[in-house]
Structures are given as C-alpha cells and as structure tokens.
Chain A
Amino acid sequence: MIEARRLSKMYGPVTAVDRISFEMGRGEVVGLLGPNGAGKTTTMRLLTTYLPPTSGRASLCGHDVLDDPLAARRCVGYLPENAPLYGEMRVREYLDFRAKLKDVPRSKRRRSIAEAVARCGLSDVENRVVGHLSRGYRQRVGLADAIVHEPPILILDEPTAGLDPIQVREVRTLIRELGERHAVLLSTHIMSEVEAVCGRVVIIARGRIALDDRLDNLRVDGALFVEARGPAEAIRKTLAATPGVASARTLGEADGVASFEVRPKPGEDPREEVATRLVANGWPPRTLDARRGSLEDRFVDAVSRAGLVATEAEAG
C-alpha cells in the first residue's frame, strides 16, 4: 500500500529525512516513533504529497506521489499534526465540505459522513461550531475528516495528542478497528500507544530509520525472570547449564527464595526446560516469566545508536 524508496527531504542545508525506505501492506498498523525533530512529520508530509521529496520515490496504492499526486491523495486519509480546521464552520458542514473535496459521490456522502461522525463519537457536537470545540473534539473531527472518504491508507500524525485518557482509549480502539481493513501509519512519542495499537514499529532518528521490526520480535528477546526456593548459587549453576541458556545472573535472595535473570541464546526459548530442571532438583519455581524487553529501552538504544553513527559519519 505504501512504498518508500530512498526518500529524502532537505530544507536548505538541513537534511530532515535521509534516504528512508520502507513498505507497508493492507491490515498493518505501523507506529512511526522518534524523538522530536527526527523527521516523523516530514516523512508523513512527503507521503501525503504535501511536500515534494528532494530525492527518492514514494507511492501510495501504486500511485507515485510526484507523477500522479491527485490519485495518491485520493487513496489516503491524513490527519495533520494539531488537526488544523476551519474554526467558523460547523462539524457536519466541515465534514460535508471535506467529503465534497475528496470526491465522495453525492449518493454516498450523507451515509459516509454519518458513519464517520458515529465512529469518532461526534454525534453530540455535530451541529456545533468547530472553533468552539475542545481540543479533544477537534482532534476527533480531524480524524473523522481523515476517514470520511474511506481511504485504503490512513496517515495520522499524533492522533491522540491532546485527548483525555478515556478519549485516548476510544481513539486507540478505533485505530485498531481501522487497521483491520486499512493500512495505518501513525506517529507518536508515547510508547504505550505503540504497544497498544501497532503491529510494527519504525523508529526514526536524525532522519534515518534506526529500527524497523514487528512489535512481537521486539518484545521476545528480553531476558527470563526466574524465582525459585532453594540455594541461590546451586540454582544459578543449574540454570546456566540448561540448554538454550546463554547466561544466568543472581538478582537477589530473600526468605530462601532466590531470583535470577536468565538470558536465552538468540532465537531460543528455554522456559520449559528451565521449569523441568528446577522441579527435578526439588527447587519449586515461583515465577517464570519472559520479561518483555521494554520498548522504551529499545527506543533509547536505537536512537542513541543512530546518533553515534551520525556523529562518526560527521567526524569521518
């Protein structure tokens, strides 16, 4: 659905986006993560044809953003940062205006707008003037605008910014629903949001892709957390000797219960073997948990690595 090939954008001498390439298919929800100024918004603006790329290509549903921008725009619903809207219009009026601009046929328009209003929870404020709405409602009007023409691709720049926790939850549910039928690319700097809605994460730092992986993969290669009753040192040795385990480290011991961090060898899951061995030695396990590698750690790791590479490149 979305395809970017060595996409770059320079603002004068400043490189905002530096040769990024990625692909996205239908039914994927991809989170675009990155520190402030990393190039998230610029990337989204390149994909939505708002900005022309300096070099590289991108296409949406097979329509190139430079060669056929109108067709590319037709298949994308875009929620810009801060959801800019015309303050003097009423919500329904605004959505009607946007639906007309996006060529929703007259016969379908009423139904599409009603559906967008319902999905974004705007029925209470349908006839209110946009300029009088609270931040959260305006954000939702922007979201309703993005989905009103039922585009195959959704590009959402910080969709939950400015919403209260209940609204955040609603919007995330909505995005998950939309993700089943559409391709959704959203940017955020909230880690829990990525974990809640995205299937895949692309981390951008200094205009480059620092990491692009499925969320599941990012989670599993964390260490195991083991607690068992018994002599700490003996247990540690046994754990370290278990097949599939790279190393074991004692974390602490209290009331005869010892806790360990066990690092599995790459690609192996020794949880069952660990449990069997502990029981066989008469050390009943209390906890055996695949500790989720925190996304935050991965993020900091990826970003600082990108920073390091960039500094080296500049120095060299």
Chain B
Amino acid sequence: MRHVPTLLARELNAYFLGPMAYLVLLAFQFIAFLNFWELVEALSRPQGEYSSLRDPMNRYIAESTPFWLAILIAIPALTMRLLAEEKRSGTIEPLLTAPVTEGEIVVSKWLAGMIMYGALLIPFALYLPFLYYQADFHFDPGPILSLGVGLTTMGMMFVAVGVFFSAVTRNQVVAAIWTFVALFLMVVVTHLLAFYFAGRRQTSLVDAARHVAILDQMRSFALGRFDLRTIALHLSVCVFVLFATTTIFAARRGR
C-alpha cells in the first residue's frame, strides 16, 4: 500500500485542479442552501406544532428529498470515471505495468472517491455553526454528529459500489447507470419494501427491511440513535465490495 499516497495525489489533482470539482460543489451548495432554508422555515413556525420526534433539526438532511436525489446522482457521477476512464483512454496500461498492485489502485481510487464525497457534504455542515452562534439557536449537536458518522460510513459503502461498477466496464455511462440502480435499490426500494411488508403485517420482514434500508438508517441516526450494528453493516459491505472489485479488476486485466 506504499504507492497509495502517490496514486491518491494524482487522482485528487485530476479532480480538484480542473473546474469539475468546483461546479459539482457549487451545485451541492445550492441544494444545501435550499435545505437550510427549509430548516429555518420549519424552526420559525410556532413551537406547539411538533413533538420531539418531529423536531425539524432531526429532519434536516436525513428526510430531505433534494438531498437524497442529489446523492443518488452525484455518487455515480463522481465514481464512474475512476477506473472506466483509465481503461478507455488506455492509461491503465502504463499503470498496470508499473510495479503497483491492483489492490493499491482500487484502494487509492476509493479513497479519492471518499474525499470527493466528503467535500460534497461540507456545504451542509457549513451552515450549522451560523445557526448555533449567529442565530443563537442552541440545538443539540449529538444527533447531528451521529448523522455525520452515519453519512460517512454510508458514503464509504456507496463509493465502494461506484468503484466496483467502474472496474467492471470501460464505459462511464454504463458504470454510472449501474451504480445509480444499485444505490437506488439500497436507498429507496428497501424503504418501499418495508412499507409493503407492513401492509401485509409481516413484522419480522418489516424489521429486516428497515434494518437494511438506508433511508431508515439515516433517519434513526438523525434522531440520535447511534446504532453500531448499522455502522458495522456499512463497513463490512464496503470491505467486501472493495475486495470483490480488486479480484474482478485483477481477473479482467487487459479487457
């Protein structure tokens, strides 16, 4: 793993030295702005309307439709080029004939994707200190931190899925669409499945679906329920997907 810093530095340079990174960040800033507006609107309504479970602070990000839409589109867009682009342009050939292992390449691509993903979340965190200090609204930072950790481990898993599909094909569009479908299944379909089972009163299946539904997981993180089982699930999926990526990437050399 000695070459990871070198590979990572190149990857980040390619991303942050061009306009692409800043355009994506700008777009996300806009969504974060809408989100924050929504939060401030909700907070300024009369207090009696909501119980603690419907506290607008707890619904910030985790239950925001624009946020999830943006994540579902942004992650495939960021990860699609990581390996597919190298294959298409042929730069994978000098890379794989240097004394570098496939594992090092996959890990550095994944780390680069994680840093890009982290940069996307910064705008959302940026407004909160203003709310706390400027507007003197002393919310409880605990649930926000718990949500932050949950979003990070979720991102680790999502980016790993993106790298996986980028390793499978040389076509970026194919990689992006497959990643989108996989994330859509994990975020939305599992959630709908929980509803479906609830309708049929199959409680054990409802619990199972809620446990894996990303939307439900993030909601409970935002409520301050810091569930280590969820973290463990995210991390183990991430490691498994990265391992599968390395294996497939090595087996598909030159194709």
A22 at interface, CB cutoff 8 A = no
B101 at interface, CB cutoff 8 A = yes
Minimum CB distance partner of A45 in chain B: B254
A18 at interface, CB cutoff 8 A = no
A121 at interface, CB cutoff 8 A = no
In the complex the two chains form, is B99's CB within 8 Å of A88's CB?
A: no
Q: Which of A50, A84, A101 contacts B91 (CB 8 A)?
A: A84
A103 with B99, Cβ < 8 A, contacts A50-B253, A97-B6 known: yes
Task: List residues of A (133-148) whose CB comes within 8 Å of B's CBs.
Answer: 142, 145
In the complex the two chains form, is B94's CB within 8 Å of A70's CB?
A: no
A82 at interface, CB cutoff 8 A = yes
A43 at interface, CB cutoff 8 A = no
Task: List residues of B (216-254) whose CB comes within 8 Å of A's CBs.
Answer: 253-254
In the complex the two chains form, is A84's CB within 8 Å of B93's CB?
A: yes
Binds B, one of A32-40, A73-81, A166-174, A255-263: A73-81
Binds A, one of B11-19, B73-81, B182-190, B191-199: B11-19
In the bound complex, what is the Cα–Cα distance between A77 and B50 (angstroms)? 68
Number of interface residues of A (CB under 8 A): 28
In the complex the two chains form, is B17's CB within 8 Å of A48's CB?
A: no
B17 CB, nearest partner CB in chain A, Å = 7
In the complex the two chains form, is A101's CB within 8 Å of B6's CB?
A: yes
Minimum CB distance partner of B251 in chain A: A52
In the complex the two chains form, is A98's CB within 8 Å of B94's CB?
A: yes
A-B contact pairs, 28 of them (CB 8 A): A45-B93, A50-B96, A50-B97, A50-B254, A51-B254, A52-B253, A70-B101, A71-B99, A73-B97, A73-B98, A78-B93, A78-B94, A80-B90, A80-B97, A84-B90, A84-B91, A84-B93, A85-B91, A86-B10, A86-B91, A87-B89, A88-B13, A89-B14, A100-B3, A100-B6, A101-B7, A102-B98, A103-B99
Closest 9 CB pairs of A and B: A84-B90, A51-B254, A101-B98, A80-B93, A100-B6, A48-B97, A73-B99, A84-B91, A74-B99
Chain A residues proximal to chain B, CB less than 8 Å: 45, 48-52, 70-71, 73-74, 76, 78, 80, 82, 84-89, 97-98, 100-103, 142, 145
